[in-house]
Structure 1
Amino acid sequence: MRVRPISAEVLVEELADQLICREPDSYLRVALDGAPAARPEALADALVGPLRARGRPTVRIDTADFLRPASLRLEFGRDNPDSFYLGWFDEAGLAREVLDPAGPGGSGRVLTRLWDATADRAVRAPYQDLPPRAILLVSGPLLLGGGLAFDVTVHLEMSAAALARRTPAETAWTLPAYERYADEVAPASFADVVVRVDDPRHPAMVLERS
C-alpha cells in the first residue's frame, strides 16, 4: 500500500476541490463511509463550509436519521452484530427519500431526516427542494456495496486493531459487523477515495493498494 500523509485540514480542502469538479451541472451524491471511530460525520461537517465557499450549495445527511424502527432493528437483540450489519439502516428509505430524487430525472425534493431513533417514530420534517448544483454529503457506516446510488464514494479505512482500540466498550459488539464488511464488501478496493484513519488526527490518502 502506498499512502500520502496529510493533515486533516488539507484533506478537507483537497476533497472539496475534487468534489466541485464532478458533475458541475447536476446534483452530486457523495458517500462518506466509515465506522463511528473513523468519524465520517466530522469529515462531512467539515466539508460543508469549503464547498459552499466554492459556490456549491451543500446538504448534510446522516444515516443515523435513517434507521429502521426498533421493532425491526432489535428483533434479535440489542447487541447482535448480524442484525446491525444487515438490518439497522433503512437503505430503501434513504434511496427513496434522498438518493433517487437527487439522481438523474429525480424531482430534486429530498427528506433530510426520516426516523427519530430516540422517540422511535417518523420525523415530521418537511421536504427540501435542492438548489441547482447542490452536493449531498451522506455520512455513516456500511454505506457501500449495497447498491445505493452514489456519484462519489469516500471510504475512511481503519485497521482492525485501530478500530477495536478506538471503539467504545459499549459498542464493541459491532466490531464483527465491520470485520464482515471489510471481508465481504471490501470497500477500500473500489471507493473513489480511500483515506487511512487509524489515527483520525493524522489521516493518510491511499494512493495505491498492493
Structure 2
Amino acid sequence: MDGFHNPRAIRHRQGRDSADGYYLDAYDFEAFSRLVLEPLGPGGDRKYRERIIDLRSDTPIEEPPVLAAEDLVLVVDGSFLQRELVWDEVVFVDTPFEVARERGTRRDAELLGGLEQARRAFDQRYHAASRHYLAEVGPVDRASVVLGNADLANPALRRIGGPADAVVNLFSYGTLQTPSVQVEHFGRELRGVQDVLPGYRQDWVTITDPAVIAVSGTDRHPIVRHTGDAADTTAGTVLEVTTAELAAADLYEVDDYRRALVRLGSGVDAWVYLAVG
C-alpha cells in the first residue's frame, strides 16, 4: 500500500503527529479499489496500476497500467486493510506493540529524524492509530489466518480457515480420531460423525517427527492418495473444529501431507490431509 498513500498535504492535514490523521488520511483506498481491485476483480480487464505516488518525494506518478496474468493471485500488505476493503482471504500478522515499536523505530530512525523522533512518532501517531483500528474494526477476529510474529525466526500459526467464530469440518481417517491426540493438540475431545471419502485409496507413511510419534504412539500413519475410482473409498470421521484447532491440526501433520477441501460420500464438504503430489 505504500504506492497508494495520499499526498502529504492530505496525510498531515490533521497534524504531523495526529493518530486520527494517520488512521483516516494516510491511504487512498478509493484509488486502490478503482485502479487495482476492480480491474483484477470479476469482469475486470486485468489492467491495474502498481502505484500512484512516490512516498519519499511526495510526487504523483502516472505510469501505464500493467496487464496481469490470467492466473495472478494478488497479495497486498499494508495497514488498516479491513477498514474499507473486502478480501477473499486476510492474513493478520500479529506482532506485540512493544516488539513492533522496537523494530519500527530502528528501521525508520533515519527517515523520521532520529531514534527519539521515531519513538515519538510510533507512540503518538502510528501505534495510537493502530490501537484505534484494533478497537473499531476487530481485524484479528475477522481475519481468516492469524500468524504470531513476535519472533521473526519462528512465526506461529494461530488460526486458519476463517474468522475466530467459524467452525469447519475436518475429515480424519487416521490418528486425529484418537481422543488422546485430540486432547493433546486441541485441548478437548471432538465430536465426530462417520463418513467416507470416495475416489481415494489409503496407503501408509513412516513418520520421523519424534513429537508426532510420541503423541500418536506409532511411526506408521495412514495417508490417502487420489485415484478417481469411485470403488476406492476411505472411511473416517468428520470432526467439527474451530479455526484455531484447524491451525493446530496443520502443525500436527508432517510435510508428507497437504490439506485440501473435498466432498465426502454424505455430500458434506470437509478439509482432509492428502498425500503430497
TM exceeds 0.5? Answer: yes
Identity of aligned residues (%): 28
1:139, 1:157 → 2: CA distance? 13
Task: State the 1:103 CA deviation.
Answer: 0.8
Corresponding position: 1:124 with 2:66: no
1:197, 1:150 → 2: CA distance? 21
Does the residue aligned with 1:106 lie in a helix, a strand or coil?
Answer: coil
Identify the match of residue 75 of structure 2 among 134, 137, 153. Answer: 137
Does the residue aligned with 1:135 lie in a helix, a strand or coil?
Answer: coil
Corresponding position: 1:99 with 2:51: no
The residue that corresponds to 1:197 in the other structure is 149
Q: Is the 8 A contact 1:116 1:122 kept in 2?
A: yes
1:109, 1:150 → 2: CA distance? 19
Does the residue aligned with 1:82 lie in a helix, a strand or coil?
Answer: helix
Identify the match of residue 18 of structure 2 among 80, 84, 92. Answer: 80
Q: 1:166 to 1:117 in 2, by over 3 A?
A: closer
Task: State the 1:161 CA deviation.
Answer: 3.2
Structure number with the higher strand fraction is 2
Corresponding position: 1:183 with 2:120: no
The runs of 5 or more residues in structure 1 that have no matched partner are 1-62
2:30, 2:80 → 1: CA distance? 14
Task: State the 1:135 CA deviation.
Answer: 1.0
Q: Is the 8 A contact 1:74 1:83 kept in 2?
A: yes
Alignment of 1:1-210 (within 5 A): 63-146=1-84, 148-168=85-105, 169=115, 170=118, 171-172=121-122, 173=124, 174-207=126-159, 208=244
Please list every run of at least 4 consecutive aligned residues from structure 1 whose deviation after the TM superposition is greater than 4 angstroms: none
2:138, 2:101 → 1: CA distance? 18
2:35, 2:16 → 1: CA distance? 27
1:126, 1:186 → 2: CA distance? 36
1:150, 1:91 → 2: CA distance? 13
Q: Is the 8 A contact 2:14 2:20 kept in 1?
A: no
Does the residue aligned with 2:77 lie in a helix, a strand or coil?
Answer: strand
Q: Is the 8 A contact 1:99 1:150 kept in 2?
A: no
1:200, 1:64 → 2: CA distance? 22
Superimposed CA distance per residue, residues 24-82 of structure 1 (whole angstroms, 9 cap, x where no aligned partner): xxxxxxxxxxxxxxxxxxxxxxxxxxxxxxxxxxxxxxx11001011111112222111
Task: State the 1:196 CA deviation.
Answer: 0.8
Superimposed CA distance per residue, residues 152-207 of structure 1 (whole angstroms, 9 cap, x where no aligned partner): 21110122333334331514131111111111111110111110111222210113
Q: Is the 8 A contact 2:12 2:21 kept in 1?
A: yes
Does the residue aligned with 1:136 lie in a helix, a strand or coil?
Answer: coil
Q: Which amino acid aligns with 1:132?
A: E
1:150, 1:193 → 2: CA distance? 12
Q: Which amino acid aligns with 2:97?
A: A
* TM-score normalised to structure 2 length: 0.50
Greater Rg by CA:
2
